[in-house]
A and B are shown apart, each in its own frame.
Chain A
Amino acid sequence: MALDVHLDAVTVSFSGLTALHEVNLEVAAGEHVALIGPSGAGKTTLLRLLNGSALPSRGNVRVGGRTLADLDARSLRRLRSQVAVVHQDLRLVPNLRVSQNVLSGGLGRQGFWSSLRSLVRPATRELEVVHGILQRVGIGEVLFQRVDRLSGGQRQRVAIARALHQRPQMLLADEPVASVDPVRARDVVALLVRLAREDGVTLVMSLHDLELAREFFPRVVGLRAGEVLLDGPPDELDPAAVAQLFRLPEGGSDLVGT
């Protein structure tokens, strides 16, 4: 199962600033899409639209056929439990064990008492599931370690494991490698793409680095100043449009090379 996305003339503005302007975008169920563009282009806002964390000022956002603005609180929670987000800053609880952090990804499908029990004293079966997920992301050995004792790379994999434990139908990653060195960045992008493919879920990832997008994604969407500037397979992208994507507004020199 995977979710599809349909953005219909979506404009998002808050306090007078327009983050996205008249954006149309279709993402098919199970498709992998890289969002690229300079800082402030609207990549994060677009991702926030996809799990209802932001609502459009105008236009329509549909995820899995449901219009997000029309959902009541309960339905929105259900939808969010189907959409996992990996943030650049991870957002883990540092003084809890890896197992507890990963288990908390499953809260959305648990009732109150069962979630409380699994946080305090997880069942062996639950721990086996978590261990399996940790092995998938390559850190099976840290199950019972505290997150604040792990390296940066291990922590990032814990955040990914928590997202997987959500059993999502769509995976969103907001600049997952922005604060990671280039070699590890490539590994992390490769891992997320592999996991999304294995589970057959939709993947939308925002990236600074066009090269990573080219290497791992069949489709690249370029955003600039809140508008979609280019959209297509990486080897069919118009070089002029790519150059324009990263050019400074006043016609200054390139900020980010391609």
Chain B
Amino acid sequence: MLVLLLLATAGVWAAWTLRLDPADLWPGGGGWRLTVEFFSHAWRPALTHQAEGLPTDTPPLLWLAARAAVKTVVYAAAAMPASILLGLLLGFGASSAWWTTARDRGGRGPRSLLGPVISAACRLVASLLRSVHELLWAVLLLAALGLTPLAAVVALSVPYAGTLAKVFAEMIDEAPRDAAGALAEAGASPVQAFLAGQLPGAMPDMMAYALYRFECALRSAAVLGFFGFPTLGYHIAASFENLYYGEVWTYLYMLLLLVLVVDWWSGAVRRRLVS
């Protein structure tokens, strides 16, 4: 309750500091007309190029949109394996289940300090990775590597690995511990007990979350197009600058379609895992 009150107070203070004025939501003539025009195209996305006098060999708009959608999926898909792998490694390390089980079962001596230290180190690394947003990573990597697909893929995988690690660690620690405890009691090593007794309980949630992050990666990959990568964002930016709002909506609907498909897919996978 007190926390909510504090948050509300902080919110009001911040709004005052920023001189937020609700009246600005209704901008003067030009801005408002632009907004109306943009949203009015939501009902009639472009099916063909809005530009006139294009070279005759220009591919049709929908073909371009489909190709950009495929590129977006490819960029996101290329980023996920590395981030999942790194996220799993850091997530295992950052979770406390693998070392507290051993400690609770009578583990002693200097080796019992190893667990907390590794765990804290993994958590720190995961925080560092995700404290820099993928767009900032993209700016850094563009400067370092240039406009290569690798820059976009690395920019996506690094912060995603950090987020996955944090959430994986929490899911592992929240899974029931009784089975791992029983296996340790039956002579299994801490790592064996963790892999056979603790991890399987967290697996369905972890897979569903990885799929959700894939959905996030699709959106991020699309936005990375603003930097020049050939994903949906590239076309959105180009059409927007030319005031071809119908085309912008075509690309936005393409992105929506991708997200819906992945959402449906992850739902199906999840249902299969838990039932």
- Which A positions have Cβ atoms within 8 angstroms of B? 51-53, 55, 73, 76-82, 84-85, 87, 89, 91-96, 100, 104-105, 107-110, 112, 115-116, 119, 162-163, 166
0/1 per residue, B5-49, Cβ < 8 Å to A? 000000000000000000000000000000000000000000000
Cβ A115 vs Cβ B187 within 8 A: no
Given known contacts A80-B185, A81-B187, A95-B200, A55 and B106 CB-to-CB distance under 8 angstroms: yes
Interface flag for B186 (CB, 8 Å)? yes
Cβ B181 vs Cβ A112 within 8 A: no
Contact of A85 among B106, B182, B188 (CB under 8 A): B182
Cβ A112 vs Cβ B200 within 8 A: no
Q: What B residues does A84 contact at CB under 8 A?
A: 186
Interface flag for B195 (CB, 8 Å)? yes
Interface residues on B, range: 20 to 34
Which residue of the partner chain B has the closest CB to A118?
B196
Cβ A119 vs Cβ B195 within 8 A: yes
Cβ B192 vs Cβ A93 within 8 A: no
Q: What B residues does A105 contact at CB under 8 A?
A: 183, 186
Contact of A92 among B179, B184, B185 (CB under 8 A): B179
Given known contacts A81-B186, A91-B182, A92-B179, A112 and B196 CB-to-CB distance under 8 angstroms: no
0/1 per residue, B162-188, Cβ < 8 Å to A? 000000000000000011011111111
**What DSSP secondary structure best describes chain A's contact surface?**
helix
Which residue of the partner chain A has the closest CB to B193?
A107
Contact of B187 among A93, A96, A109, A119 (CB under 8 A): A109
**What DSSP secondary structure best describes chain B's contact surface?**
helix
0/1 per residue, B103-146, Cβ < 8 Å to A? 00111110000000000000000000000000000000000000
Q: What A residues does B274 contact at CB under 8 A?
A: 95
Instruction: Pick the most buried of B185, B187, B203: most chain A CB atoms within 10 A of its CB.
Output: B187
Q: What B residues does A93 contact at CB under 8 A?
A: 179, 196-197, 200-201
Q: What B residues does A162 contact at CB under 8 A?
A: 186
Which residue of the partner chain B has the closest CB to A86?
B182
Interface flag for B258 (CB, 8 Å)? no
Q: What A residues does B78 contact at CB under 8 A?
A: none
Q: Smallest distance from the beta carbon of A97 to chain B beta carbons, Å?
A: 10
Cβ A119 vs Cβ B196 within 8 A: yes
Contact of B200 among A73, A81, A96, A115 (CB under 8 A): A96
Which residue of the partner chain A has the closest CB to B184?
A80
Contact of B195 among A85, A94, A116, A163 (CB under 8 A): A116
Q: What B residues does A112 contact at CB under 8 A?
A: 189, 191-192
